[in-house]
Amino acid sequence: MIERWSVAGAEARVGEGVQGLVVTIDGPAGSGKSTVARRVAERLGCGVLDTGALYRTVTLLALERGIALSDAPALARLLDDFPWRQEGERFFLGEREITDDIRTADVTAHVSEVSAHPEVRARLVPVQRAQAAHRALVAEGRDMGTVVFPDARHQFYLDADLEVRARRRADEMAKKGAAADVEKLRADLRERDRKDSSRAASPLQVPEDATVIDTTDLSIEEVVDRILADIESGRQ
């Protein structure tokens, strides 16, 4: 499935969407939400929205073009020409694939600063909402249930012990052949949590109506099964 997103004129209903289903999955880095979101979407047969990839793309462009990460207006202007698209789990800007580029340590270290700017978030929220206009959707991020889809019927918040999250990140890096320092990853995640939860615009927090799932001792499939069971019970 190819998903093409446009900033200009992106508008959609907030909540259940035309196809009747929006599932939001929020949580800190390393809680498993990206993998869980993809699996839930596969099981439901619907689309998935990786909002982190959007903010990472803006961060990548800013770093490559030498734009100060404190210059919110300049960062927002990057979205004037933003030929971003997703093909499954791969991401592109025009014809350039950026799947690996947006996951580098440099982008990861700076994405919280970029995503904290209200101007950037304001430009991307309508784009995210537009994805639910004509299809069922699983949306994962840090403000899906609190800001982007606050009226979604099915809201979840995943969390996990910091040590476990760090080791998960290390395992991900190892699978890609990259060396991983668990102690540094732990410190990076702790700082990321602090920035995401304390920012003025759309801070990371548990949505009021969300089901909270601690994934520390659960497998991906156990989390997916729990979410699907909750969705099914909520339909009855």
- Whether residue 13 is predicted with pLDDT greater than 50 in this model: the reply is no
Instruction: Give the pLDDT confidence score for residue 112 in this predicted structure.
Output: 87
CB atoms within 10 A of CB 119: 16
In 3D space, the residue among 4, 11, 2, 218 whose CA is nearest the CA of residue 127 turns out to be: 11
Domains of the chain: 2-160+204-215 (3.40.50.300)
- Whether residue 18 is predicted with pLDDT greater than 60 in this model: the reply is no
Spatial CB neighbours of 58, under 8 Å, sequence gap ≥ 6: 75, 78, 79, 114, 115, 120, 124
Mean pLDDT over 126-130 rounds to: 86
Query: What is the band of 235 on the pLDDT scale with cuts at 50, 70, 90?
Result: low
Which stretches within 4-71 are classed as H helix? 33-44, 51-65
**Dihedral class, residue 227 (left if φ above 0, else alpha if ψ from -120 to 50, else beta):** alpha
Instruction: Give the pLDDT confidence score for residue 175 in this predicted structure.
Output: 85
Query: What is the band of 6 on the pLDDT scale with cuts at 50, 70, 90?
Result: very low
Query: What is the band of 15 on the pLDDT scale with cuts at 50, 70, 90?
Result: very low
In 3D space, the residue among 192, 51, 189, 206 whose CA is nearest the CA of residue 112 turns out to be: 192
For 88-97, the pLDDT digits (tens) are 788 999 999 9
For 196-223, the pLDDT digits (tens) are 898 888 889 999 999 999 999 999 999 9
